[in-house]
């Protein structure tokens, strides 16, 4: 890392991120999102068995119809982790599909019987969705204000650009693979937002400190690279520990937590990359552009003054 100049390779970071953003936007507009029952409503199946069954056994049967991510709840009298009555909440099903599901979740020598079928509305209505989006926009506004107050507007815009990059990566993957978006998705997105902002704050806070300690002859590129080197170990430790926990949740946490963990896996990886490579490069190039424009203006002014004196 001592010899690697992160900012000098800004063209690679901007090209890579630009391609990923374009692919994500294309996937979103072409495929759309696969909203779960929290947004679209669904069907409730109340099923009873002859003998007690576990949630895992019911989920295995639902997998035959591609409904393994459905919400399964034991009801009535239960014995530790098993019970005879099961309530399944899944996407909207027709009468024929419901009957097929009941047949598929039946076990050998333990048939399933339908007690009730009910169609329910969306848990997250349009008004709640609008309020959620409004809160996200307000959060971005407060983040920009906070970063501008603590640092400067260039840092604020650079950090917010990196955060937008990370969220687009998550949305693009979910749109491309048509993964289900439910209520937990919003919580995971807010977690990614906080993680990405924290990574950017750590690096830019070190940049702010180094502005007072580095030589005045040092370029902004040197300043940024030194700051990245001083914080890279901390960023790697943070990423490793969080990825270990999230990956464990993804691989061993069950089907209902996979998408929740996947959002954070993608967001954390993208957040570490964008904070180190993208946000700092934007800040450096913005400063360099401003200085070049200012120097060009001073050069023209000096020429005009010399011409007048002549």
The pLDDT score that the predictor gives to residue 166 is: 95
The pLDDT score that the predictor gives to residue 296 is: 45
The pLDDT score that the predictor gives to residue 292 is: 57
Spatial distance between the Cα atoms of 249 and 258, rounded to a whole number of angstroms: 7
User: Residue 277 pLDDT > 70, yes or no?
Assistant: yes
Give every strand in the sheet of 82-90, ordered side by side: 71-79, 82-90, 42-54, 112-120
What are the tens digits of pLDDT across the range 66-110? 888 888 888 877 777 888 899 998 888 888 899 999 999 999 888
Spatial distance between the Cα atoms of 19 and 280, rounded to a whole number of angstroms: 19
User: Residue 123 pLDDT > 70, yes or no?
Assistant: no
Mean pLDDT of 189-210: 90
What are the tens digits of pLDDT across the range 129-187? 677 677 777 877 787 788 778 788 888 889 889 999 999 999 999 999 988 888 788 88
The pLDDT score that the predictor gives to residue 253 is: 81
Spatial distance between the Cα atoms of 109 and 102, rounded to a whole number of angstroms: 14
Token output for 266: 């993608």
Q: Write the Ramachandran bin of 76: left for phi over 0, alpha for psi from -120 to 50, otherwise beta.
A: left
Cβ(53)–Cβ(86) below 8 Å: yes
Tally of CB atoms within 10 A around 42: 23
The pLDDT score that the predictor gives to residue 126 is: 62
The pLDDT score that the predictor gives to residue 303 is: 47
User: In which band, very low, low, confident or very high, does the pLDDT at 2 lie, cut at 50, 70 and 90?
Assistant: low
Mean pLDDT, the chain, rounded, equals 85
What are the tens digits of pLDDT across the range 46-73? 999 988 999 999 999 999 998 888 888 8
Look up the pTM and report it: 0.80
* Residue of higher predicted confidence among 24 and 134: 24
User: In which band, very low, low, confident or very high, does the pLDDT at 285 lie, cut at 50, 70 and 90?
Assistant: very high
The pLDDT score that the predictor gives to residue 230 is: 92
* Residue of higher predicted confidence among 304 and 231: 231
């Amino acid at each position: 890392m001592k010899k690697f100049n992160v900012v000098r390779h800004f063209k690679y970071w901007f090209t890579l991120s630009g391609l990923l953003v374009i692919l994500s936007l294309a996937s979103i507009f072409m495929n759309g999102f696969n909203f779960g029952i929290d947004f679209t409503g669904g069907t409730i199946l109340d099923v009873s068995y002859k003998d007690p069954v576990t949630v895992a056994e019911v989920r295995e049967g639902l997998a035959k119809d591609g409904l393994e991510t459905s919400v399964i709840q034991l009801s009535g009298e239960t014995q530790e982790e098993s019970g005879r009555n099961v309530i399944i909440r899944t996407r909207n099903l027709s009468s024929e599909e419901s009957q097929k599901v009941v047949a598929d979740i039946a076990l050998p020598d333990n048939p399933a019987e339908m007690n009730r079928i009910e169609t329910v509305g969306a848990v997250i209505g349009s008004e709640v969705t609008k309020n959620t989006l409004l809160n996200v926009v307000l959060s971005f506004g407060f983040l920009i204000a906070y970063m501008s107050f603590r640092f400067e507007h260039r840092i604020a815009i650079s950090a917010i650009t990196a955060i937008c990059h990370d969220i687009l990566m998550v949305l693009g993957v979910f749109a491309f693979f048509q993964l289900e978006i439910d209520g937990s998705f919003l919580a995971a997105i807010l977690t990614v937002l906080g993680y990405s902002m924290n990574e950017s704050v750590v690096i830019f806070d070190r940049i702010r400190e180094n502005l007072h300690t580095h030589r005045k002859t040092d370029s902004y590129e040197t300043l940024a690279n030194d700051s990245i080197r001083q914080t890279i170990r901390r960023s790697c430790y943070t990423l490793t520990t969080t990825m270990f926990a999230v990956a464990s949740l993804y691989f061993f946490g069950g089907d209902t937590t996979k998408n929740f963990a996947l959002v954070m896996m993608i967001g954390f990886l993208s957040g570490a990359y964008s904070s180190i490579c993208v946000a700092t490069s934007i800040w450096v190039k913005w400063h360099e552009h401003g200085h070049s424009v200012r120097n060009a203006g001073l050069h023209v002014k000096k020429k005009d003054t010399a011409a007048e004196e002549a």
